Structure 1
Amino acid sequence: MMGMDRSALEIVIGLEARKLARATVVRVATAAALVLVMATTAGGYAAAMHAGDTDLGRKAASMVTSPGWDGYTALGATSVSVTMLLAVGVVMSWSTGREFTDGTIVGLFAIPPALRTIATAKMLVTLSWAVLLGAGEAVLLMTAGLLLGLGAAGATGCFATLLLVSVVLSAGVLPVMWAATRWRGYLAGIGLTLAILVVTNLAAGFGLGTYTPWSIPVAWTMTHDDVSTLLLVVPVMTAAIGAWVTLRSWDRLQLGTD
């Protein structure tokens, strides 16, 4: 039975990966995230360092907490958090919610793989894409930092930090898959994504970054001395809860009920 389940999971993962690779929403989310993170981080840092007498330069300078790689990485973490939360939240919502809005959920009841297996495959595939996107953002920002004249010594640390932030945040967005399942459509998941984004930005703006799961990674990046690394467990726990409630919801799905 375990072998059959594993085989079924591998098959469904392959199907979900192909759907994700062909989806326009995924391509748009990927391109937009990469372009925006470069523009806001590399462009913002360049403006802060070389155009400080302009309005844009002054605004950018206020977001750079320190010179060198530390300040650049902190600015990058802020950009990565916004782009990853939005892109991953939208794609996760689409991956789950489209089954309901397109009516394909009916067919899923008629095929052999259990609904839990399908939900697991969706989570694994979207998280794998999110890790690749996060790695892409980290590589781009590290390269941009080198081109901006930052020393090579801190490049690896910048990459590792930004990759960690992107992965932790992506996993922490899993509750949107539950929302898309609970309210049977991707709009519910996108709505929760936007709510998470607003709450995260408000928490960061009011100095409460350590009080929400999605702002903790950025707060940790900006102030290592004041924010314990152990707090990163909070978004990981959020991810685990999101995965559990999503699987539970798919286990209990019934046709013709809300």
Structure 2
Amino acid sequence: MTGSRPLHGIGTAIAVEARKAVASRALQGITAFLVVGIVVLAVGAAAGAASGDERLAAKLGPLAGAGGWNGLVGVVAQVESAAALLGFGVALSWLVGREFADGTVAGLFALPIRRSTIAVAKLVVYLAWAATVAVLLTGAVAIAGLALGHGVTDAAASLLRIPALAVLTALIATPAAWAATAGRGLLPGIAATVALIAVAQVLAVVGVGGAIPFVAPALWAIEPDAATGWGLALVPVTALAFAGLCARAWSRLQLDR
């Protein structure tokens, strides 16, 4: 009775999806981009602003003159807010949409596991990978800060914002999973991610994004007072809603559409 329980075979599905993820060059490349790329961009931007580059200083705003761990973490958070959403969205689009792009989705209909269970397994593996990226990124920022001569006294309090922002950003990227399923491919998921970034940037600029779950994590990490509790509380709710939509879409997949 494989269809009697919605998550029957979830352990097997997670194990299979995890093996795919570990062997994926796409995820390896995205991991390197998110860990090394963000730190390099942030340190470079901070150094450029400190050297008197007016354009960089204008982009960083008050962070341009901040020093120590707070300054470094603030710049990292500013870069991370957009780069991580892009990276997580692309990764999730690949995890969910590759079955359509590679033409392997038809084979899933023959498996004794519900397709909705497979979708849930993909999301679980995605979250585990995102948590790993959060830890690696935090370690990379810590190493960069120590190399720049920052002390260890207030490091922990500042660094905690980095993994928190990464996990929150991973959660708000979940619409990419539903878009990749509805559009049956990677590109719709990536397009949805780019649209989220654009909308978030606009809402942040006009100053109404503090209560919006797609904007609140970045505002909180860069300027904690700018985000509202409601905005942050809606992040997991939004993630669960789109995860449910994704699982439902997978359960209704048909071979001819």
Whether TM-score is above 0.5 comes out as: yes
Tell me how far apart the structure 1 counterparts of residues 7 and 249 of structure 2 sit (CA, whole Å).
21
AA matched with 1:181: T
Residue 58 of structure 1 pairs with residue 57 of structure 2: yes
Residue 256 (structure 1) shift: 0.7
Where do 1:88-237 residues align within 5 Å?
Answer: 88-237=88-237
Tell me how far apart the structure 2 counterparts of residues 86 and 147 of structure 1 sit (CA, whole Å).
28
Tell me how far apart the structure 1 counterparts of residues 139 and 68 of structure 2 sit (CA, whole Å).
17
Aligned partner of 1:239 in structure 2 is 239
Tell me how far apart the structure 2 counterparts of residues 229 and 67 of structure 1 sit (CA, whole Å).
27
Matched residue count: 255
AA matched with 1:64: L
Whether contact under 8 Å (1:25, 1:91) holds in the other structure is: yes
Tell me how far apart the structure 2 counterparts of residues 193 and 63 of structure 1 sit (CA, whole Å).
28
Unaligned runs of 5+ in 1: none
**Deviation string, structure 1 residues 202-251 (Cα, Å, up to 9, x no partner):** 22333333153222112112332343344311222211111110111111
Tell me how far apart the structure 2 counterparts of residues 39 and 64 of structure 1 sit (CA, whole Å).
17
Aligned partner of 1:32 in structure 2 is 33
Tell me how far apart the structure 2 counterparts of residues 35 and 67 of structure 1 sit (CA, whole Å).
21
**SS of the residue 1:256 aligns to:** coil
Whether contact under 8 Å (1:42, 1:145) holds in the other structure is: no
Residue 62 (structure 1) shift: 2.8
Whether contact under 8 Å (1:84, 1:134) holds in the other structure is: no
TM-score for both structures, normalised by structure 2? 0.90
AA matched with 1:31: A
**SS of the residue 2:210 aligns to:** helix
Unaligned runs of 5+ in 2: none
Percent identity (aligned):
33
Superposed CA RMSD: 2.3
**Range that drifts further, 209-218 or 172-181:** 209-218
**SS of the residue 1:152 aligns to:** coil
